[in-house]
Amino acid sequence: MNEITIDGEALQIEDVVKVARDSAKVVIPEKVKKQVKSSRDFLEKLVKGNHVIYGVNTGFGALNNRMIPPEQIEQLQINLIRSHSVGVGEPLTTGVVRALMLLRANTLAKGFSGIRLETLETLVEMLNKRVHPVIPAKGSVGASGDLAPLAHMILVLIGEGKAEYQGKVISGKEALKKAKIEPVQLKSKEGVALINGTQLMTAIGALAVYDAESLIKTAEVATALSLEALLGVSDAFDENIQKARPHNGQVTTARNMLKLIVGSKLVHKGTKAVDKMQRPHDPYSLRCAPQVLGATRDAIAYARRVVEVEINSATDNPLVFPEQGLCLSGGNFHGQPISLAMDMLGIALAIIGNFSERRIARLVDEKLSNGLPAFLIPSQAETGLNSGFMTAQCTAAALTSENKVLAHPACVDSIPTSANFEDFVSMGATAAQKAAKILKNSEYITAIELLCAAQAVEYRGIEKLGKGTKKAYTAIRRIVPALKKDRVLSEEIEKLRQAIRDQLILHEMEEQANIER
């Protein structure tokens, strides 16, 4: 089993995926243990010296001007966790919970939070022994971080709340007991250090970015297959056009398209169109693939950069800097960087779906498909008696429309909280959750395009496909058979969507066609 070392500095999105989905073991190095101890020792000196420290000997939020006597400091932390456990709705998936726990542990490992080493070690032990807190998905406004979701996580750490363990949902206390983990007795600052941060939005964001990178590459494969099915023109992918407008994503998408169709006898040069089935250039949903999918590539790359900074950041408040002799209160918990990035990611993913749906509509429309049968039904199957892919396109249209609603940005919204003291919030959790929904919808739409395009190229002749697209066709057909007459397609669409997320089609593409990340 892979081991992931946390030091607050070098965690990558791929590491988050390994822990979230493959249950990789998490390890705390000795250097980190020393940093955490140093931070805690310095904080305890400040507390003993009666320094005023937010969240340690003061109330929270609008109650920050209320001083807490020394004998109530520990009760303050327990009350914080209980009072902030107000999440509602369906619980987060196990994968997101694991990512959330990892990211919280990694930010604490930076040594700026002032918690005890044993507290960090217990959180990591829960993760490694698969004690997964039940965390309601709704309740965060993204500042002061994802308070409610993180509070539900910490409830289990202190032996309260509910947890999923060995496939069953039981009390947090019982889950810890079964896993042979001692609950934590929170000390000064530990409650606020554990729940003040952006780990929910960032956990969802990290997984979404990883899956978005798989989707954009698969979208290029689907586009190339549709290009051949529609007897398209290859001129739009020429490197001279891309050099004239050298956006990174555009250049990469164009290069990938050319690699996928190498050797194709179905596409042609616009300057060499010889009959009415061949045109000098294609509709935008084919011709503008480098510009549209390329721009989406660039947006996904931006989201990756932001997320990878965030997963290695200290996001609680206040922060302890032992070497400088400082304990400072600030706003690193504010989710605006992630909120903005997740809204951009959601919009970019919605564009993938929008773009794909237009090609699906063209593939099934006999007036627009360059001679393909209506709804891609074989002539011997009696069109009319059989509807073929007619309603598959309707599903793609429904998902596309839903994505347009979901793509409305959350980051521009704010609603004051905590008696108007926390008067501008990020709505980062909402932005991340919307992006994840759009991602899944666009995976479905792309799966439908793969289904339709694979059917369509059979009318043109599989032997005429390009090197890369032929591999794609073969991979699709291993998952779903050709449509000879009407059958239920729902499960097949689901299988193809899962294949996109599992990168089953891409593995062969990257190896055989050398398409780029």
Report the distance separating Cα 418 and Cα 61, nearest Å. Answer: 6
- The reported pLDDT for the residue numbered 294 is 98
Q: Which of 15-19, 272-276, 342-346, 347-351 has the lowest mean pLDDT?
A: 272-276
User: What mean pLDDT is predicted for residues 336-349?
Assistant: 98
260 pLDDT more than 90: yes
User: What mean pLDDT is predicted for residues 85-114?
Assistant: 97
What is the location of CATH 1.10.275.10 in the chain?
3-197
Q: Tell me if 268 sits within 8 A of 302, measured CB to CB.
A: no
Using alpha carbons only, give the angle 224, 302, 343 rounded to the nearest 5 degrees.
90
User: What mean pLDDT is predicted for residues 376-383?
Assistant: 76
29 pLDDT more than 80: yes
Q: Report residue 242 as tokens.
A: 């891309």
Average per-residue pLDDT for the chain: 93
Catalytic residues: 54
User: What mean pLDDT is predicted for residues 134-146?
Assistant: 94
User: Which pairs count as long-range contacts for 164-172, CB under 8 Å and 24+ apart, including other chains?
Assistant: 164/94, 164/132, 164/133, 164/134, 165/130, 165/131, 165/132, 166/130, 169/134, 172/133
User: What mean pLDDT is predicted for residues 352-363?
Assistant: 98
Give residue 1's pLDDT band: very low, low, confident or very high (50, 70, 90): low
Q: Write the DSSP assignment of 170-228 as a string of letters.
A: EEHHHHHHHTT-PPP---TTHHHHHHSB-HHHHHHHHHHHHHHHHHHHHHHHHHHHHHH
- The reported pLDDT for the residue numbered 512 is 58
User: What mean pLDDT is predicted for residues 369-376?
Assistant: 94
What is the location of CATH 1.20.200.10 in the chain?
205-314+332-513
Using alpha carbons only, give the angle 390, 394, 395 rounded to the nearest 5 degrees.
120
- The reported pLDDT for the residue numbered 278 is 64
User: What mean pLDDT is predicted for residues 133-147?
Assistant: 94
Report the distance separating Cα 309 and Cα 363, nearest Å. Answer: 42
513 pLDDT more than 80: no
- The reported pLDDT for the residue numbered 227 is 98
Question: Measuring CA to CA, which residue among 322, 302, 319 is closest to residue 310?
Answer: 302
Give residue 22's pLDDT band: very low, low, confident or very high (50, 70, 90): very high
Print the SS3 string covering 351-383. HHHHHHHHHHHHHHCCCCCCCCCHHHCCHHHCE
Residue % of the chain over a pLDDT of 70: 96
Helix (H, G, I), strand (E, B) or coil at 132: strand
The 8-class DSSP code of residue 512 comes to: I
Q: Which of 251-255, 332-336, 420-424 has the lowest mean pLDDT?
A: 420-424
Q: Report residue 11 as tokens.
A: 């965690």
Report the distance separating Cα 483 and Cα 381, nearest Å. Answer: 10
Amino acid sitting at position 15: D
Strands (DSSP E) contained in 46-153 are 88-91, 132-133, 136-138
- The reported pLDDT for the residue numbered 28 is 98
Taking the domain 205-314+332-513, which CATH number applies? 1.20.200.10
- The reported pLDDT for the residue numbered 370 is 93
- The reported pLDDT for the residue numbered 78 is 93
Beta strand 132-133 pairing with 136-138: unpaired
35-78 tens-digit pLDDT: 999 999 999 999 888 888 887 888 787 787 888 888 888 898 99
Q: Between the CA of residue 353 and those of 219, 399, 405, 443, what are the distances in Å?
A: 9, 8, 13, 8
- Map tokens 């822990």 to a residue: 19
| Strand-pair partners of 136 | 91
Residue % of the chain over a pLDDT of 90: 83
Report the distance separating Cα 280 and Cα 268, nearest Å. Answer: 9
75, containing H or E segment = helix 73-84
381 pLDDT more than 80: no
- The reported pLDDT for the residue numbered 274 is 55
Q: Tell me if 427 sits within 8 A of 453, measured CB to CB.
A: no
284 pLDDT more than 70: yes
The CA radius of gyration of the chain, in Å to the nearest whole number, is 26
Higher per-residue confidence, 403 vs 269: 403
Report the distance separating Cα 117 and Cα 32, nearest Å. Answer: 9
Level-2 CATH architecture, domain 3-197? Orthogonal Bundle (1.10)
Beta strand 25-27 pairing with 3-5: parallel
Q: What is the pTM of this model?
A: 0.95
User: What mean pLDDT is predicted for residues 201-212?
Assistant: 98
Q: Which of 115-124, 263-272, 358-367 has the lowest mean pLDDT?
A: 263-272
Higher per-residue confidence, 329 vs 452: 452
User: What mean pLDDT is predicted for residues 422-432?
Assistant: 93
- The reported pLDDT for the residue numbered 113 is 94
| Strand-pair partners of 169 | 164
User: Residue 54, by phi and psi: left (phi above 0), alpha (psi -120 to 50) or beta?
Assistant: beta
